[in-house]
Amino acid sequence: MTADNSAHVVPSWAAHEIGETIISPDQVSSRVRELGADITRDYADNPPLLVGVLKGAMVFMSDLIRAIELPVDVDFMAVSSYGASTKSSGVVRIVKDLDAELSNRHVLIVEDVVDTGLTLNYLRKYLGARKPLSLEVCALLFKEEIQRVEQDIRYIGFSIPADFVVGYGLDVNERYRNLGGVYKFTGEA
Ligand code: 5GP
């Protein structure tokens, strides 16, 4: 699905660094409901363990789990791939590991955005080594036209252009995570 631009107005406190609306709050919530329905259908017999990737996926995760009508379990990992910059370093560091065991579990990784795919590629190998019954990915955003190492993503919320974006959990230096939609960032990182 491709994001379409809507006439949603950017909040005034953020407007000086925020450009066009990539995905409005209404578009996000209706797509998250659809993703929840898809996951409910696909995992009806095998409720998954959802693994959220902190911090960016926290807002998406909290809405997504309430759109899934199954007894899902939830855990989080924290990885760092960008530091404070807006360019991928290619270096992935685990800041917080999982608490849950993965053997005999169907695992669904919940990511905010797949850019180069380096983070996802690393996480797949890392979690796959713990021998889950299955390992799939649900990404809210997927950047088009970017050289990536990982393309096998079962659930994608929106395909978006390669611009740096903020909002709905995504930040710049910890700011703008609380915007309800996804917006192009136009400030200095
Ligand atoms: P990748 O490894 O796919 O290049 O990057 C994945 C991670 O980089 C994401 O989980 C996210 O934390 C960060 N990232 C990638 N693109 C963006 C973006 O447009 N905005 C923000 N705020 N973070 C991004």
The residues lining ligand 1, judged by C-beta closer than 6 Å to any ligand atom, are 53, 56, 81-82, 88, 111-120, 164-166, 170-171
**Running DSSP on this structure, what letter comes out for residue 34?**
H
For ligand 1, atom 23, the nearest C-alpha belongs to: 170
**Which residue ranges make up each domain of the chain?**
31-185
Annotated active-site positions, please? 115
Q: Tell me, what's the pLDDT at 150?
A: 57
Peptide linkage before 143 cis (omega within 30 of 0): no
For ligand 1, atom 5, the nearest C-alpha belongs to: 115
Topology at the third CATH level for domain 31-185: Rossmann fold (3.40.50)
Four-CA torsion 60, 25, 92, 78, nearest 10 degrees: -40
Please give the chain's pLDDT, 189 residues, in tens.
444 455 567 888 888 999 999 999 999 999 999 999 999 999 999 999 999 999 999 999 999 999 999 999 999 999 886 555 556 656 788 999 998 789 999 999 999 999 988 889 889 999 999 999 999 999 999 998 766 665 789 999 999 999 999 999 999 999 999 999 999 999 987
Q: Tell me, what's the pLDDT at 2?
A: 45
Q: Which two tokens stand for residue 102?
A: 């993965």
Tell me phi and psi for residue 111, to 5 degrees.
-115, 150
For ligand 1, atom 16, the nearest C-alpha belongs to: 115
Q: Tell me, what's the pLDDT at 35?
A: 98
Task: Check if the beta carbon of residue 50 is closer than 8 Å to that of residue 61.
Answer: yes
Strands across the sheet containing 18-23: 18-23, 182-185, 165-166
Per DSSP bridges, beta strands 134-143 and 106-114 are parallel
Residue 189, CA distances (Å) to 120, 144, 185 in order: 23, 22, 9
Separation between Cα atoms, residue 75 and residue 53, nearest integer Å? 9
**Running DSSP on this structure, what letter comes out for residue 137?**
E
Q: Tell me, what's the pLDDT at 87?
A: 60
Please tell me the distance between residue 45's alpha carbon and the centre of ligand 1 in angstroms.
Answer: 32
Q: Which two tokens stand for residue 181?
A: 């939609």
Separation between Cα atoms, residue 42 and residue 54, nearest integer Å? 25
Q: Is 78 helix (H, G, I), strand (E, B) or coil?
A: strand
Ligand 1 pocket: which of 119, 120, 163 to mutate (most atoms <8 Å of CB)?
Answer: 119
Separation between Cα atoms, residue 27 and residue 56, nearest integer Å? 18
Distance of CA 16 to the CA centre of its chain: 25
